[in-house]
Structure 1
């Protein structure tokens, strides 16, 4: 990250405001990017995954058995990585488009 110097003495109020807003905007973009990356690794329950995909638990279980959506067993619980679920959904949508 390069350090930029702004001289307040010679900057107008509007220039100063714009520099502050620019810095805030860059910080928000950085935080949003980090949150998106962390969100992809979030583990979802079966119920959360079914709701995300708008399918029943039976359909989700069927897709899991057919290896359409990867699942992870943690003890007696089944979990899905959100990023992998969304990737599988994109893959299903691309398949549907290519068969038409």
Structure 2
């Protein structure tokens, strides 16, 4: 475990606060950009998607076959976009729809 020590000299509390606020704002803008960027989409495996939804692989396959949840074939692997999984659930969020 490495301990980092930060020593401040020749700065006042207001300047220090402004620097912290500026860095946090930059970090949050970067985070927001990543959330809005579809190129940075998280792809899930069948197992991860089934675990996320708390269903069996058979149920997930059935929902995929019925076009309830869109899937993508990459070579011989099947992947699900995390945002589309949640979007599909929101669209089918009425009792008895799945």
TM bracket, shorter-chain basis: 0.7 to 0.9
Aligned pair count reads 85
| Structure 1 residue ranges, 4+ long, deviating more than 4 angstroms after superposition | none
Aligned-partner SS, 1:34: helix
Distance 2:45 2:57 in 1: 11
1:12-51 per-position Cα deviation (integer Å, ceiling 9, x unaligned): 7121022112101211211211332358622111011111
Q: Unpaired segments of 5 or more residues in structure 1?
A: 1-11
TM-score, scaled relative to structure 2:
0.73
1:68 matched residue in structure 2? 68
Q: Aligned-pair RMSD on alpha carbons?
A: 2.2
Residue of structure 1 in register with 2:18 after alignment: 19
**Partner in structure 1 of residue 4 of structure 2:** none
Distance 1:51 1:38, change over 3 A: farther
Where structure 2 has 5 or more consecutive residues not aligned to the other structure, the ranges are: 1-10
